[in-house]
Amino acid sequence: MSGLKWAIVAIERLNEAVGRTVSWLTLLMVFLTCFVAVLRYGFSLGFVWLQELYIWMHATVFLLASGYTLLHDGHVRIDLIYGPASLKFKAWLNIGGTLLFLFPMLGLIFWVALPYVQLSWERLETSQEAGGLHGLFLLKSCMILFVVFLALQGIALVLRSILVLAGEPEWSPDSTIAEPSGELK
């Protein structure tokens, strides 16, 4: 089972690093939004590319931090059932929910998004707005990364649940962050 543990640690370290890195965009978005408002209302200046930039940042944070959010149990769940349940029941719920809901949803998103992203790359698509940002194809690529990071974290959740069912409660998803001790090495 050490292979399972290694996979969990690797996936969770990746999502932790991506989530922490991308989260800095939220601070930058606050400053950028204030700057755009000051330019617009204080100096009657407006730049389309600057307005698009904070919208693109928001989309990037939302898409790339989804695995990080699942790692830290930040997605919506029905706590009436899950909250008071035993570790083994939670493990079964995590496996069932991931296999029946998360993976099919991610498969559908990937199936729909892939041709959309490929076409964007073929055209090296840019903003449709005059004075907008170039590189829209890069932003659209985040949809594929959304699927990858969330699917990887779903795999880690299933593997953790398998370890719990195998009698290793210290690997419960409640004790995430790359190691059962809670420490990143």
User: Each residue of 115-144: pLDDT tens digit?
Assistant: 999 999 999 998 888 888 899 999 999 999
Residue 66 belongs to domain spanning: 2-175
Residue-level pLDDT at 85: 76
Between CA 78 and CA 83 the distance in angstroms is: 8
Sequence-ordered strand ranges (E) for 50-147: none
Task: Grade residue 84 by pLDDT with cuts at 50, 70 and 90.
Answer: confident
Residues with Cβ within 8 Å of residue 16, at least 6 apart in sequence: 68, 71, 177, 178, 184
Instruction: Answer whether residue 184 is part of any domain.
Output: no
Q: How many CB atoms lie within 10 A of CB 68?
A: 24
Instruction: Answer whether residue 39 is part of any domain.
Output: yes
Compare 131 and 104 and report the one with higher pLDDT.
104
Q: How many CB atoms lie within 10 A of CB 26?
A: 12
Express each pLDDT in 14-45 by its tens digit.
999 999 999 999 999 999 999 999 999 999 99
Total tally of structural domains belonging to the chain: 1
Instruction: Answer whether residue 183 is part of any domain.
Output: no
- Alpha-carbon distance values, 25 to 12, 52, 145, 146 (Å): 21, 14, 17, 16
- Whether the pLDDT of residue 57 is over 50: the answer is yes
Residue-level pLDDT at 184: 43
Between CA 138 and CA 183 the distance in angstroms is: 33
Instruction: Answer whether residue 122 is part of any domain.
Output: yes
Residue identified by tokens 């001790």 is 181
Instruction: Answer whether residue 51 is part of any domain.
Output: yes
Average pLDDT score, the chain: 89
Instruction: Answer whether residue 181 is part of any domain.
Output: no
Enter the pTM of the model.
0.86
Question: In this structure, which long-range contacts are made by residues 82-89, counting pairs with CB atoms below 8 Å and at least 24 apart in sequence?
Answer: 87/164, 87/169, 87/172, 88/164, 88/165
Instruction: Answer whether residue 185 is part of any domain.
Output: no
Express each pLDDT in 149-179 by its tens digit.
999 999 999 999 999 999 887 888 776 554 4
The angle, 0 to 180 degrees and rounded to 10, between the axes of the packed helices 48-64 and 2-37 is: 160
Residue-level pLDDT at 87: 87
Compare 47 and 84 and report the one with higher pLDDT.
47
